[in-house]
Amino acid sequence: MRTLISTAFISLDGVVEAPGGEPGYRNAGWTFKDIDFLPEAYEIKGREQKEATAMLMGRISYEAFSPVWPGMEDFADYKVMPKYVVSSTLAEDDLVSNWGETTILRSLDDVAALKDTEGGPIIVHGSASLSQALSDVGLIDRYHLLVFPILLGAGKRLFSATDKDAQKLKLVEHEVYANGLQKNVFDVVR
């Protein structure tokens, strides 16, 4: 069974919306405004590209990343990696042709079937709604969180507000950086 990893830039109060400046959110770009850039704080992002063997995302994240990431040197490893988009509305004609193999999955059952295949880790980028749904049905195995020292209030959250049984996490890696960022890697305890 493959490991499903949810990775996120997250504010201290749990918001993951528009970290890179995506339009339509009041505090868009909060990861680089007023927070000093320290390359060492982002080491985990490069490691994710080297360790992951597939990328999973929701339709909205796919539509945000696919026009930009294929041409970015920082994300070169993702270009050749198989990608899976969970969407009930995306059509094959909506997929970009310059970002490698991309498969549309229509349900969380399809994601569970993908996890049951042979292979290495699958990384989930962005995709707040998808991450919430995956977590709620117990499909996420690990979280890679870069926690930013900022409170954003309103915005999309990484974790849902669904009333469910407690889910225990085990901290397996952590570091604090001079700019206030915290790296927290949690395994889901089953």
pLDDT in tens, 71-100: 988 888 899 999 999 999 999 999 999 999
Name the band, by pLDDT with cuts 50, 70 and 90, for residue 52. Answer: very high
Q: Dihedrals φ, ψ of 100, to 5°?
A: 80, -175
- Which value, to the nearest 10 degrees, does the dihedral of the CA atoms of residues 108, 110, 114, 117 take? 130
Name the band, by pLDDT with cuts 50, 70 and 90, for residue 162. Answer: very high
End-to-end distance of the chain based on CA atoms, in angstroms? 14
Name the band, by pLDDT with cuts 50, 70 and 90, for residue 22. Answer: confident
Residue 127 confidence (pLDDT): 92
Residue 39 confidence (pLDDT): 96
Q: CA-to-CA distance for 159 and 162, rounded, in angstroms?
A: 9
Q: CA-to-CA distance for 158 and 61, rounded, in angstroms?
A: 14
Q: CA-to-CA distance for 25 and 17, rounded, in angstroms?
A: 7
Query: Would you tell me how many other CB atoms lie within 10 Å of the CB of residue 39?
Result: 7
Q: Tell me: pLDDT of 122 over 90.
A: yes
Please, how many CA atoms are within 13 Å of residue 92, restricted to the half-sphere of its CB?
A: 1
Query: What's the mean per-residue pLDDT of the chain?
Result: 95
Name the band, by pLDDT with cuts 50, 70 and 90, for residue 34. Answer: confident
Is the Cβ–Cβ distance between 175 and 182 less than 8 Å? yes
Q: CA-to-CA distance for 134 and 162, rounded, in angstroms?
A: 12
Sign of the torsion angle spanned by Cα atoms 14, 19, 21, 22 = negative
Largest CA distance in the chain: 46
